[in-house]
Chains A and B, each alone.
Chain A
């Protein structure tokens, strides 16, 4: 009976997953705190609580995410790209292409049957095309991040958004609000601008097989559906778990492999 954990400290949210015999027995998503260490502690604690086990029961734990170097309790750290690949494959065993959009970047990757990442692309330099972009916009529109995604479906005549920069797009959005354009049309324009940037990255890895999306933005149905249109392929919906925890889940899965000795040896 082995219990393992994975902890993903992201820029916006921190996630932890506890697994036992290949099953998720506890998980958590919390808003990240200024200090990654605190975030990690809090996320783990909550996950432990939901699993009903104690920290001492954890046999192995892998950390990942933007703040991975600062997590106090992990045995090892692994990159998000690898973890998301692993996690995605577990959630959707047929997935071959993974799109991960988190708070501060967007990555697309190909994975093999074990969930190992092959070619990948990440957007660099610019915040447009990240979850953060959507948050800023949701705030300007005065809707919650959940609602933002749903606006696309209600839109009649979506606006075209200057998509080059989060900050400038914000100015445009304000202008549209000011000129009385329905909020649905603006929201849809925002989701489309986002999807447009992601589509370039997705197409750049030449998606094959089933496509799966992880990270918080996977919960934005507007982005997801527009993206499907842009790439002309269906994106598989997650059923087994919340796609936002894919990174932490991947970390937990790698912990398990490590413990069972069937994972590759670390150099």
Chain B
């Protein structure tokens, strides 16, 4: 890592930048200009959020708060737990543990830093992680391994059985930093009694682990509170997802990002509830007026992202969608599998419900919920089996009336690159043009944004979509 970079605490840097950006809209014009000067590289991203109105502002504030929590954890005597984005932070909040989610932090960093997360990603390779491993962990993890972040106290990873390279990164981190490690493991089936039971057993073990290493007991009253909040949030997510079905959809592309960023960072927190309320309100207003959520008001095309979105510097991808008049009708990451969601009904056995009546019911609920977080749910088994990737993508594409399906991932994603070709072929067979992006969602050294954009344009043109 460049020595210049080693001089700064990464969490602190990011925390400051995000905080400054969150403060921008509160200031006068002059103050705003000044703040922008203070965060030159984050300016464009911040602007894009600010342009998105109140929900954008709330997202900025939420991200700032997330860092604030990390930065003040130790002072408040709280333990920090490194975890994956597809492990719901709800349980950690209920135990007063502060989560640090590498993937989310890498995505934020990739959008905010001028040089992207290159230095941190490369640092992981310098100390021995293969350069072929998924970049989504390698980013923020680099700062942690390099000792440039708040010290983590334990590692909980919930991708064994879902994604090797992810689980491997967490296992490596725990070994390298000599911190306790717990894995939530998923068998490749979902929905049957046997796997349900496995999830619960495993989840209970995890709670034991977290109790042991945080010194805190799980407070069931608190858990009930948080879960009730989640229940509320899920209902609003379902509302937003329903509105994605409208034509034109009143949901701006950026909301998708805010939606899952919030879910992975602040599930069960009131900050997220407020953000959702704000998004639902605006979207409903648009819907009532029958207008598109796109800035220029004209929806020319609807794309469904069958995997992840494209991050990297300056939220280029979202701005691109806006410029081209392309509506983002969701990605796998936004999916919420609570039982009352419309599209879930098309996929029996895939849903969960929230029951806060007894401690056991709560544990059941949360274990089932966790087993249905985006990547965990759809990528874990053979892609063409019931309830898995293909079925889910097709149901979504149909329900949201997508014109095409786009795959974006990272070269590190053994998991999806293993069979994305047959997957794309199957999607095409169902009548959806499918584009495979060859870039890295978090690292634009793999393919420059210009090249990515050109390939996207070409796809839309050749396939007669735009």
Residues of A within 8 A of B (CB): 160-164, 168, 171-172, 175, 179, 193, 196, 199-200, 203-204, 229-232
Given A196-B118, A200-B131, A232-B3, A162 and B125 contact (CB-CB distance below 8 Å):
no
User: Out of B3, B115, B122, B450, which one reaches A175, CB within 8 Å?
Assistant: B450
Complex: A172 Cα to B439 Cα, angstroms: 13
A162–B451 CB distance below 8 A = yes
A246 to chain B, nearest CB (A): 24
Q: Please, which residues of chain B bring their CB within 8 A of the CB of A230? A: 2
Complex: A199 Cα to B122 Cα, angstroms: 9
9 nearest A-B residue pairs (beta carbon): A232-B3, A203-B126, A200-B125, A163-B445, A204-B126, A200-B122, A200-B126, A162-B447, A162-B448
A175–B451 CB distance below 8 A = yes
Complex: A133 Cα to B127 Cα, angstroms: 25
B446–A204 CB distance below 8 A = no
Interface size on B, residues (CB 8 A): 22
Q: Say what secondary structure dominates the interface of chain B.
A: loop
User: Out of B1, B6, B126, B446, which one reaches A162, CB within 8 Å?
Assistant: B446
A193 nearest CB neighbor, chain B only: B445
A204–B4 CB distance below 8 A = no
Residues of B within 8 A of A (CB): 1-4, 6, 115, 118, 122-123, 125-128, 131, 411, 444-448, 450-451
B139 to chain A, nearest CB (A): 15
A67 to chain B, nearest CB (A): 29
Complex: A196 Cα to B119 Cα, angstroms: 9
A204–B127 CB distance below 8 A = yes
Q: Please, which residues of chain B bring their CB within 8 A of the CB of A196? A: 118, 122
A232–B2 CB distance below 8 A = yes
9 A–B pairs (Cβ distance < 8 Å), ordered by A: A160-B444, A162-B444, A164-B445, A172-B451, A203-B123, A203-B126, A204-B125, A232-B2, A232-B4
Q: Please, which residues of chain A bring their CB within 8 A of the CB of B123? A: 203
Complex: A179 Cα to B1 Cα, angstroms: 32
Q: Please, which residues of chain A bring their CB within 8 A of the CB of B1? A: 203
19 more A-B residue pairs beyond the given contacts A203-B123, A204-B128, with a C-beta to C-beta distance below 8 A: A160-B445, A160-B448, A161-B448, A162-B445, A162-B446, A162-B448, A162-B451, A163-B445, A164-B411, A164-B446, A172-B448, A175-B451, A196-B118, A199-B122, A199-B126, A203-B126, A204-B127, A229-B2, A232-B4
Q: Please, which residues of chain A bring their CB within 8 A of the CB of B118? A: 196
Q: Please, which residues of chain B bring their CB within 8 A of the CB of A171? A: 451
B447 nearest CB neighbor, chain A only: A162
Complex: A160 Cα to B127 Cα, angstroms: 24
Complex: A160 Cα to B131 Cα, angstroms: 18
Q: Please, which residues of chain B bring their CB within 8 A of the CB of A168? A: 447
Complex: A200 Cα to B1 Cα, angstroms: 8
Complex: A187 Cα to B1 Cα, angstroms: 22
A230 nearest CB neighbor, chain B only: B2
Complex: A175 Cα to B454 Cα, angstroms: 11
Complex: A229 Cα to B451 Cα, angstroms: 28
B411 nearest CB neighbor, chain A only: A164
B448 to chain A, nearest CB (A): 5
B131 nearest CB neighbor, chain A only: A200
Complex: A193 Cα to B448 Cα, angstroms: 13
A234 to chain B, nearest CB (A): 12
Q: Please, which residues of chain B bring their CB within 8 A of the CB of A200? A: 122, 125-126, 131
A123 nearest CB neighbor, chain B only: B131
B460 to chain A, nearest CB (A): 19
Q: Please, which residues of chain A bring their CB within 8 A of the CB of B126? A: 199-200, 203-204
Complex: A200 Cα to B131 Cα, angstroms: 10
A179 nearest CB neighbor, chain B only: B450
Complex: A232 Cα to B2 Cα, angstroms: 6
Q: Please, which residues of chain A bring their CB within 8 A of the CB of B4? A: 232
Complex: A89 Cα to B164 Cα, angstroms: 43
A112 to chain B, nearest CB (A): 23
Complex: A147 Cα to B127 Cα, angstroms: 34
Q: Please, which residues of chain B bring their CB within 8 A of the CB of A162? A: 444-448, 451
Q: Please, which residues of chain A bring their CB within 8 A of the CB of B448? A: 160-162, 172, 175
A177 to chain B, nearest CB (A): 13
